[in-house]
Structure 1
Amino acid sequence: MTVQEQTIAPTAESLSMVRLPKQLLHVPVTMLIFSAVVALLANSFWLSAATSAVALSLSVAGLAILYGQLGLVSLCQFALVGVGGWVTLRVGHAFHPPFELSLLAGGVVASVVGLAFGVPALRLRGLYLALVTLMLAGGFQIVISAWGFPDGGPGFLGRADGSGRAMLARPVIADGEVSYFLYVCAVAAIGLLIAQWHKLARPGRAWALIRKGETVAVASGVNVLIYKAWAFALSGFLAGLAGGLLAGNVGQLDGRAFGAFESLNLFALAIVGGVFNWYGAVIAGLLLRAVPALLTDLGIDGYVTIGIFGVALFHALATAPTGIAGQISALLARLNAALSRGRAR
């Protein structure tokens, strides 16, 4: 059975309302354990890196919907992270609402932009879609380099001069480093839960049919246009939330960090982490932030990560198409089978 068939088979089945909550329960429980361990053990440096990693796991979860469920290659996901961050900063500085409202505004606008970016997917697939979305990421890089991110100034762009720059205020309930990390983990758990529910419920079954073949999907009564648009909008929303959480982590964002290469890097690590398991997004986020942080801590040039990620991507494509998360799931399944045989004896 191919990787595609493995991912289609479970989602195409009719999932009962009894099984569905049990499958979703893994997400908050795992995130709770992970957040507690990191909050207790990590110092300030690693806590900041872990916060960014968990935030970016939301954008990877959006990629997992597009690539893992629909087989669509979108290379503009990091640009959508930037859109969400820009809107969160602009709304936060202009109107000073609760952080949650600024965050939701960033997610909604990024969802709309993601839907617009996904228009080519209605007619394009494969290499052509990848090239178009990469060009869109390049276009965002040019725009954000010229505009910059809002920092408390006047006007539409919200740019301040010199010492007038302001930092985005964190949520009232999460002003400290540890509390904000736990806050980000809670938001990420909700986002991952939403993404996982979509995969297991009716949208996931529709996406599985579309991936298998649009003719098959249409014959089964699936509205291909609506469900593709749904996927791009949800992916953009998750990326926008990631951008808003990143903005809250440091209080400001740098336009130089949102180049087109970052979208390529994000997509590559999504494959390495695993797009067919929900926690593959968390693994990819950790790889994206923890590995460079580790090299920096060891005094090694951060550009070495490009080579490391390249080797990891080659390994994933050649020997582990389900990614690290898929290998972990397979290992756990083998251990469970071995334990079951042992009890049977």
Structure 2
Amino acid sequence: MFKTALSPAATLIFCVLVLPFLLSALWVKVVTSAAIFALAAAGISVLFAQLGLINLAQIALVAVGGWIALRLNYATSLPVTSIVLIAGIGASATGAVLALPAMRMRGLYLALVTLMAAGAFQILFNAFQFPNGGAGFWGVARQSAAEIRTPVFAPNDVAYLRYTIVIAALCFGVVAVHRITAPGRAWAMIRQSEANALAAGINVTFYKIWAFALSGLLAGIAGALLSGALGQLDARSFLASDGILLFALAVVGGTYSWIGAVIAGLLYKLLPAVLNDFGISADIALMVFGAALLHAIMTAPRGIAGQLSDVLQRKSHD
């Protein structure tokens, strides 16, 4: 019974058909943002759980996807879902470039390189901003931002929440398929020993780039969805430090299942909103995140999702 309650299908049905009716207008927006960043956290999990690689530039890839989506939304009449996919592909290509340092380094050194990349993107977006309907390549104008299009079947916030959840579920499914097919097996061998993987005929370079590209695809789709949810993006929402926070929360939630990514998204967006609703400074959330990360490192390497899975397994045996 417990496993069924948390099965992907049951969770998707609940979130699409029931959850929107339980939320006020404000919380619909908050949960939409949480679902979007759960998708970004899933990209972090692909690299960390499968290859043991740390990418602190995921928030920058979200921004890349958002920038592409806004530019195409204003400059073309392409269907919104097509724009979301193109934005994901653009961020995927950027993620593949970030894979180049991973060919020769990992651990702290790779983390520092990706953090510097996130800082470079932060400077870039601060300097040029996000498109708002203006002319030229950057699409930035001084006037108020033009209205951004949303899917015809998602004309309001509740429908857009459902749209976001469905897209996120499809992306989680793509990750799950990767884990149980050839890429997942190759990643597992590479994580255990690159030398053994090479001896077994696995193209280590190809599969590392593939992992970074998949991670970037998820981040880019998340950025495109975020642009539609907010209507306009701000460079201050994609600080390099936010990349560190998102990675930490992915570890806290658990990088080995989709549930961990969902928990990370809820912690990232829902917890600060709940604290604000109770009149408590959202900065307290950082203290909670720090304690949760310490707990995960010391006693819960599989994160909250792993602990939850253990509890449900014990319940099922009772």
| TM bucket, shorter chain | over 0.9
Q: Following TM superposition, by how much is the alpha carbon of 1:296 offset from its aligned partner in structure 2, in angstroms?
A: 1.4
Matches within 5 A, 1:61-76: 61-76=42-57
Q: Tell me which residue corresponds to 1:178.
A: 158
Q: Following TM superposition, by how much is the alpha carbon of 1:49 offset from its aligned partner in structure 2, in angstroms?
A: 0.6
Alignment match of 2:184 (pick from 166, 187, 204):
204
- The letter of the residue matching 1:252 is Q
Q: Tell me which residue corresponds to 2:134.
A: 153
Q: Following TM superposition, by how much is the alpha carbon of 1:121 offset from its aligned partner in structure 2, in angstroms?
A: 0.3
- The letter of the residue matching 1:176 is N
- The letter of the residue matching 1:112 is A
Matches within 5 A, 1:53-202: 53-163=34-144, 165-202=145-182
Q: Following TM superposition, by how much is the alpha carbon of 1:128 offset from its aligned partner in structure 2, in angstroms?
A: 0.4
SS at match of 1:73: coil
Q: Tell me which residue corresponds to 1:294.
A: 274
Mapped to 1, the partners of 2:114 and 2:85 lie a distance apart of: 24
- The letter of the residue matching 1:289 is K
Q: Tell me which residue corresponds to 1:242.
A: 222
Mapped to 1, the partners of 2:18 and 2:194 lie a distance apart of: 44
Count of matched residue pairs: 314
* 1:24-65 deviations in Å (ceiling 9; x for gaps): x94343222233332120101111010011111111111111
More displaced 10-residue stretch of structure 1: 260-269 or 153-162? 153-162
SS at match of 1:118: helix
Mapped to 2, the partners of 1:35 and 1:301 lie a distance apart of: 31
Q: Tell me which residue corresponds to 2:12.
A: 31
RMSD: 1.4
- The letter of the residue matching 1:79 is A
Structure 2 unaligned spans of 5+: none
SS at match of 2:153: coil
Alignment match of 1:311 (pick from 288, 291, 294):
291
Q: Tell me which residue corresponds to 1:324.
A: 304
Matches within 5 A, 1:248-259: 248-259=228-239
Contact 1:81 1:243 in 2 (8 A): yes
What TM-score, normalized to structure 1? Answer: 0.89
Mapped to 1, the partners of 2:147 and 2:235 lie a distance apart of: 15
Mapped to 1, the partners of 2:13 and 2:268 lie a distance apart of: 21
Mapped to 2, the partners of 1:27 and 1:201 lie a distance apart of: 19
Q: Following TM superposition, by how much is the alpha carbon of 1:273 offset from its aligned partner in structure 2, in angstroms?
A: 0.5
SS at match of 1:124: coil
SS at match of 1:279: helix
Contact 1:39 1:47 in 2 (8 A): yes
Q: Tell me which residue corresponds to 1:221.
A: 201
- The letter of the residue matching 2:32 is T
Structure 1 unaligned spans of 5+: 1-22, 339-345
Q: Following TM superposition, by how much is the alpha carbon of 1:201 offset from its aligned partner in structure 2, in angstroms?
A: 1.4
Contact 1:77 1:239 in 2 (8 A): yes
Mapped to 1, the partners of 2:197 and 2:105 lie a distance apart of: 17
Mapped to 2, the partners of 1:35 and 1:284 lie a distance apart of: 20
More displaced 10-residue stretch of structure 1: 300-309 or 138-147? 300-309
What TM-score, normalized to structure 2? Answer: 0.96
- The letter of the residue matching 1:298 is F
Contact 1:89 1:151 in 2 (8 A): yes
Contact 1:27 1:192 in 2 (8 A): no
Alignment match of 1:264 (pick from 244, 262, 275):
244
Mapped to 2, the partners of 1:215 and 1:27 lie a distance apart of: 36
- The letter of the residue matching 1:69 is Q
Contact 1:27 1:193 in 2 (8 A): no
Runs (4+) off by over 3 Å: none
Mapped to 2, the partners of 1:88 and 1:262 lie a distance apart of: 21
More displaced 10-residue stretch of structure 1: 293-302 or 117-126? 293-302
Q: Following TM superposition, by how much is the alpha carbon of 1:256 offset from its aligned partner in structure 2, in angstroms?
A: 0.4
Q: Following TM superposition, by how much is the alpha carbon of 1:319 offset from its aligned partner in structure 2, in angstroms?
A: 1.0
SS at match of 2:288: helix
Contact 1:38 1:47 in 2 (8 A): no
- The letter of the residue matching 1:85 is G
Q: Following TM superposition, by how much is the alpha carbon of 1:308 offset from its aligned partner in structure 2, in angstroms?
A: 1.3
Q: Tell me which residue corresponds to 1:277.
A: 257
Mapped to 2, the partners of 1:328 and 1:216 lie a distance apart of: 34
